[in-house]
Structure 1
Amino acid sequence: MFDYPVILTPDDGTVLVTFPDVPEAITFGVNEDEALLYAVEALESALLFYINDRAPLPVPSEANGRPTVRPSALECAKLGVYQAMTEQGIKKSELARRLGWHMPQVDRLFDLSHASRFDQIEAAARALGRHIEVRVA
């Protein structure tokens, strides 16, 4: 769902990573493996800009043979709740009201660097008429 294709470009002894769908996410590594590892953090940081700006998340394009990077499972769950909220036109204050939470709790829920409890993410999804599905592939 949040698998974003990357472009790996050799760059003077390092590997540059860019995201066609998330131009704010740029990083590099000494080799492809390290570059892809750092790409996860760059992607999460860039997607946080969209959340902070209350903007829709960029839609990942087709990989077409390129490697893809996705945020961690917890962050994907948070992004899914955020995406459902924006699709429904619901603001954070309305979500807080539905959950009976204070605004700082909702803000932490969408902070991708905060280790939210999974039951809180599930509660937010339910408040939006959605549910979280987890699978191991």
Structure 2
Amino acid sequence: MLAYPLDFEVHDDGIIATFPDIPGSLTDGDTHEEALSNAQDALVSILGEYMARRRDIPLPSAAAGRPVVMLPTRVGLKVALYRTMRAAGVTNTELGSRIGLDERQVRRMLDLRQRSLSPDAFDRAFEALGKVVSVDIQDAA
């Protein structure tokens, strides 16, 4: 899944955390731990805004020893579908037509805050885009 590196800046009134790969992104906390804890929700919100504005979502760079924020599996799958659709120039309506869903259902598949259709719908969507989903399980850090 996608893991975005995080940079911290210490200020008098707390810690500011930014994602160097996502321009304009930031969150904060009173401690490093709190800033890191807030970072996942901030990242999901920021990526959702990128998608709403139909902007390209940058891939994360190498962590190079920095802490990372992993996207939840459901969110990572939606971001991957969005990126794949953009790369292929496929609209929600066109994808829906290819997999037997209406545009509203495809929009819901891409909504980072919504529970989605079954994993089978994502398999069909990626297959319609000439892709397959591969799951990689790793030991927790």
TM-score of the aligned structures, taking structure 1 as reference length: 0.90
Q: Corresponding residue for 1:49?
A: 49
SS of aligned partner of 2:121: helix
Correspondence 1:1-137 to 2 at 5 A: 2-116=2-116, 117-137=118-138
SS of aligned partner of 2:15: strand
SS of aligned partner of 1:63: coil
- Letter aligned with residue 5 of structure 1: P
Query: Residue 25 of structure 1: CA displacement?
Result: 2.4
Q: Deviations over 1:63-121 (max 9, x none)?
A: 22211112101111111111111111111111111111111101111100111132222
Q: Bigger CA drift: 80-89 or 61-70?
A: 61-70
SS of aligned partner of 1:69: strand
CA distance in 2, matches of 1:100, 1:4: 33
Query: Residue 26 of structure 1: CA displacement?
Result: 1.2
CA distance in 2, matches of 1:2, 1:86: 17
Structure 2: gaps spanning 5 or more residues: none
Contact 1:25/1:45, CA 8 A, preserved across alignment: no
CA distance in 2, matches of 1:52, 1:5: 23
SS of aligned partner of 2:59: coil
SS of aligned partner of 2:64: coil
CA distance in 1, matches of 2:14, 2:121: 40
TM-score of the aligned structures, taking structure 2 as reference length: 0.88
Q: Deviations over 1:19-40 (max 9, x none)?
A: 1111232111222222112111
- Letter aligned with residue 25 of structure 1: S
Identity %: 36
- Letter aligned with residue 124 of structure 1: A
Query: Residue 13 of structure 1: CA displacement?
Result: 4.2
